[in-house]
Amino acid sequence: MFGAVRGRLVIIAGLSLVGAVAGVLPFVAIIELVRTLWPALSGGPVDAGRAWAVVIGGAAALVVGFLAAVGSAMIGHLADNDLQLDLRTRIVRHLRTLPLGWFDRRSSGTVKKLVENDVAALHQLVAHAIQDTITAIAVPVISLAYLVAVDWRMAAASVLPVLLTVVLYSIMMRGGQQKYVEYDASVVRLNGATIEYVHGIAVVKTFGQAGRSHDRYREETRRFVRFYDGWMRETSALSSTIELITSPLTVLVYLCAVGFLLVGAGVIAPLAVLPALLLGLGLTAPLLQLGATAQFLRNATKARESLAEFFRTPPITEPADPVEPAGSDVALRDVSFGYDQDHRVLHEIAARCEPGTVTALVGASGSGKSTLARLVPRFYDPTAGTVAIGSTDVSTIASRRLYADIGFVFQDAYLLRTSIRDNIRLTRPDADDEAVQQAARAAQIHDRILRLPRGYDSVIGVDATLSGGEGQRLTIARALLTDAPILVLDEATAFADPDSEAAIQQALSRLAAGRTLLVIAHRLHTITGVDQLLVLDEGRIVERGTHDQLAVAGGPYQELWARYRRARSGSGRLEVAG
pLDDT tens readout for residues 372-430? 988 988 888 899 999 999 889 999 998 888 888 888 877 767 788 899 999 999 888 88
pLDDT at 377: 87
Cβ-in-10-Å burial (0-12, 13-18, 19+) of 434 comes to: exposed
Whether the pLDDT of residue 575 is over 50: the answer is no
User: Rounded CA gap, 544 and 557, in Å?
Assistant: 9
- CA-based diameter of the chain, in Å? 122
pLDDT at 212: 54
Where residue 175 falls (left for φ over 0; alpha for ψ -120 to 50; beta otherwise) is: left
Neighbour count for residue 556 (Cβ, 10 Å) = 18
Neighbour count for residue 402 (Cβ, 10 Å) = 20
Q: Contact at 8 Å (CB) between 359 and 278?
A: no
What do you get for the CA distance between the two ends of the chain, in Å?
56
Q: Are strands 358-363 and 532-537 parallel, antiparallel or unpaired?
A: parallel
Each residue's pLDDT tens digit, 110-142: 777 788 888 888 887 788 888 888 888 888 889
- Strands ordered across the beta sheet of 406-409: 406-409, 486-490, 516-520, 358-363, 532-537, 540-545
How does residue 533 score in pLDDT terms, banded at 50, 70 and 90? very high
Average pLDDT score over the chain? 83
- The structure's pTM equals 0.67
Each residue's pLDDT tens digit, 204-251: 555 555 455 567 778 888 888 988 888 888 888 888 888 888 888 888
Q: Are strands 384-389 and 330-340 parallel, antiparallel or unpaired?
A: antiparallel
What is the arithmetic mean of pLDDT over 515-523?
84
pLDDT at 269: 87
pLDDT at 574: 45
What is the arithmetic mean of pLDDT over 470-490?
84
pLDDT at 462: 87
Whether the pLDDT of residue 310 is over 60: the answer is yes
Angle between the N-to-C axes of helices 212-246 and 176-199, in degrees from 0 to 180, rounded to the nearest 10: 140
pLDDT at 35: 86
CATH architecture of 1-151+288-314: Up-down Bundle (1.20)
Class of domain 330-567: alpha beta
Whether the pLDDT of residue 271 is over 80: the answer is yes
Each residue's pLDDT tens digit, 2-48: 778 888 889 999 999 999 999 899 999 999 898 888 887 777 788 88
User: Rounded CA gap, 514 and 527, in Å?
Assistant: 17
How does residue 284 score in pLDDT terms, banded at 50, 70 and 90? confident
Ordered by start, the domain boundaries in the chain are 1-151+288-314, 330-567
329/500: higher pLDDT: 329
Q: Contact at 8 Å (CB) between 492 and 504?
A: yes
User: Rounded CA gap, 271 and 268, in Å?
Assistant: 8
